[in-house]
Structure 1
């Protein structure tokens, strides 16, 4: 029996070897497929991470450009407000100079041309002496009002209408055009 046993054992061993080889081949195929899928997933994730990084970088650059643009706009606005304040201060300083009498007369003449018939001229108390003779020559009563700082207000006959012509109001009306010219002179 030992020979038959040896033959059976040999056949069983051969059968086991075939089964083991097939199992090993299937296991290797499964491992290879899993490795290929893992590599594909890894490559896909890597591409996605690179795309996300590039998109995040573009967003950050855009945000930085926006912040820089806003800072420039804010700075330019501050500069223009400072220019406006300095021009306003210069106009107020002009009221203290001898040539302001001539300017005040011109402002009054313009206002008179716009109102037609006036009954009074109103100026700052500090400027009443500068316009007194002009008002008398036009037959107007001269009044004072401290709220009028740098010009004149002419009141129409009957007191229902008036025309105010001041340097500060003229600056306000002309500021858009002046600021555009100032900005071009400053920043080109």
Structure 2
């Protein structure tokens, strides 16, 4: 082999070595770039999954809080409904008690005082005996109406005033229930 061939062979080998090194460097760079991209994608996906998990946990906590608040509200409503039922039950039992004639007379006096020129008092038929003497003394007519419960209706021409315990409870219920709720739950 001649010197020229040797030099050319060496140059070709050097070029091949350089190209091989260049190719290996490019391959390493591509592998590193692919690994970096894969790592970045993996980290991004991990962050996304963590965010989704956190959102899911937050939604579940919110749903649980809403469910709990709804259950509390429903339970409070049931307690207040039971309290009202008990109050109505006690009011309905008043006519059987000894104090009923006095309570009825006071209701009648309040209604008469609220309606100037009162002419007539209307009560439940069972309550007539309790107000006969009182109505006579006041110079008022006395009539029976089964529709009047736990109270009286006073008439003056076209005007009337009804003073009955269940209606009073109805009118006062918002305040009563608010005070009861405050006493029970603060």
Identify which of 173, 180, 184 aligns with 1:182.
180
Note the alpha carbon deviations across 1:54-111, whole angstroms, 9 max, x for none: 2221222122112211211111011101101110110010122121000000000000
Normalising by structure 2, we get a TM-score of 0.89
**1:90 maps to which residue?**
90
Moved more, 24-33 or 57-66: 57-66
Structure 2: give runs of 5+ residues left out of the alignment: none
Instruction: Give the match's secondary structure for 1:95.
Output: helix
**How many residues end up aligned between the 2 structures?**
186
**For 2:24 and 2:101, how far apart are their aligned partners in 1?**
112
Normalising by structure 1, we get a TM-score of 0.89
Note the alpha carbon deviations across 1:109-164, whole angstroms, 9 max, x for none: 000000011221111111111112211212222111111110000001x2x01000
**1:21 maps to which residue?**
21
Q: CA RMSD in A?
A: 2.0
Instruction: Give the match's secondary structure for 1:118.
Output: coil
Structure 1: give runs of 5+ residues left out of the alignment: none
**For 1:47 and 1:181, how far apart are their aligned partners in 2?**
51
**For 1:63 and 1:55, how far apart are their aligned partners in 2?**
12
1:47 CA displacement: 1.8
- Residue 64 in structure 1 maps to residue 64 in structure 2: yes
**For 2:124 and 2:183, how far apart are their aligned partners in 1?**
34
**1:145 maps to which residue?**
145
- Residue 74 in structure 1 maps to residue 43 in structure 2: no
- Residue 162 in structure 1 maps to residue 160 in structure 2: yes
